[in-house]
Amino acid sequence: MGNQLSEEKLNKLLPALSPLAEGIGTGNLPDRDALKQVLLNAGVEGEKWALEELELWSKILQQARTVSNDDEKADIIAKLQVRGIPEASSILAIYAVCRPTPPTPPLVEPQSIDFGHLKPGEGANMTLKISGKLVKATVRSNRLKVTLLDLGSGNSLVKVQLLAGSAGESLQDNILLEGERGKLRVFVTAQWGKEPPMLQDCPRCKRKSLFWNRYDKKFECLNSDCKVEGSSLDKLAKPQDRHYHRLY
């Protein structure tokens, strides 16, 4: 590996050790141009000896990417010490190379779900698209049901079913997605409106005869001369009306 650097040169080059190790630890194996940039950032520019020594350090540090036990780490630390690098600096450099990279969480679309305002007794559905293989999806609320679908090629779908809620009820929950690359949460909200009065004025016949059928979720006028019905006040029509189906 050649002779050790003088103490003066070693002290001048040591500031380049840490950024070199961190770069190698993230998988960026430096070429000569990258090593020159490391030297430039460390304030050592245009020194042939510095580039040659840093190439030696780089080769030693790259060996640490495949170590499997402490003995192998100790061997590489010893090689750095042979180059004159102090023990503490050698250990920190090896730690930077061997430090596990935190997993990147999967990407999800949409990033949150807002089911908005729903009618009492109404449910809803949504599909989440995941870039990454999922292991598990969990929720706390019994109003939510989730189903995982593996699409292959590292992508997944999560079918989200919102079960019917009662008048005035609200929901705030998180779907916890656990994948091979980490975890993330998708915030879910929903709000069920209050039910209409059981009996109110009919906008067609102007009598207090409009009945809210809470089981069929529709209005029905009890006036025999009117008999309109519909899912909302602006969709009232007689069943035999030829425009009835279009209004729905």
Average pLDDT, the chain: 87
In a domain, 107, yes or no: no
**For the residues 14-32, what does the mean pLDDT come to?**
89
Q: State whether 226 and 150 are in the same domain.
A: no
Q: Would residue 12 count as lying in a domain?
A: yes
d(CA 125, CA 133): 22
- Say what the pLDDT of residue 130 is: 86
Please determine, for residue 248, whether its predicted confidence score (pLDDT) is greater than 60: no
Which residues are within 8 A (CB) of 110 and not within 5 positions of it... i.e. 6 or more apart? 126, 128, 186
For the chain, give the percent of residues with pLDDT over 90.
47
Instruction: Supply the pTM of this predicted model.
Output: 0.49
User: Does residue 122 share a domain with residue 90?
Assistant: no
pLDDT at 102: 65
Residue 2 falls inside a structural domain: no
Question: Looking at the 3D structure of the chain, how many domains does it have?
Answer: 3
**Where does the pLDDT of residue 2 fall: very low under 50, low under 70, confident under 90, or very high at 90 and above?**
low
13 and 48 co-located in one domain = yes
SS (H, E, C) the chain: CCCCCCHHHHHHHHHHHHHHHHHHHCCCCCCHHHHHHHHHHCCCCCCHHHHHHHHHHHHHHHHHHHCCCHHHHHHHHHHHHHCCCCHHHHHHHHHHHHCCCCCCCCEEECCEEEEEEECCCCCEEEEEEEECCEEEEECCCCCEEEEEEEEECCEEEEEEEECCCCCCCEEEEEEEEEECCEEEEEEEEEEECCCCCCEECCCCCCCCCEEEECCCCEEEECCCCCCCEECCHHHCECCCCCCHHHHC
CA distance 157 to 180: 15
| pLDDT category of residue 241 using cuts at 50, 70 and 90 | low
How does pLDDT run across 185-225, given as a tens digit for each residue?
A: 999 999 998 888 899 999 999 999 999 998 888 899 999 99
Encode burial over 48-67: b for 16+ CB neighbours within 10 A, e otherwise: eebbebbeebbebbeebeeb
Please indicate, yes or no, whether residues 132 and 213 belong to a single structural domain of this protein. Answer: no
27 has pLDDT over 90: no
Parent domain of 145 = 117-192
Largest pairwise CA distance in the chain = 108
Task: From 40, 70, 98, give the residue that closes a domain.
Answer: 98
Q: Please report whether residue 105 resides in a domain.
A: no
Residue 242 has pLDDT above 50, yes or no: no
47 in any annotated domain: yes
| Overall average pLDDT of the 237-244 stretch | 67
Give me the CATH number covering residue 155: 2.60.40.10
Q: Mean pLDDT lowest for which of 32-36, 90-94, 120-124, 150-154?
A: 150-154
Kindly indicate the confidence band of residue 103, based on its pLDDT and cuts at 50, 70 and 90: low
Q: Identify whether residues 45 and 94 lie together within a single domain.
A: yes
Of 192, 212, 238, which residue constitutes the final position of a domain? 192
Position 126 in a domain: yes
Query: Residue 185: how many CA atoms within 13 Å on its side-chain side?
Result: 7
Residue at which a domain ends, from 174, 192, 210: 192
Mark whether 33 and 94 lie in a shared domain: yes
Domain assignment present for residue 208? The answer is yes
Same domain, yes or no: 183 and 226: no
Residues 84-109, mean pLDDT to the nearest whole number:
84
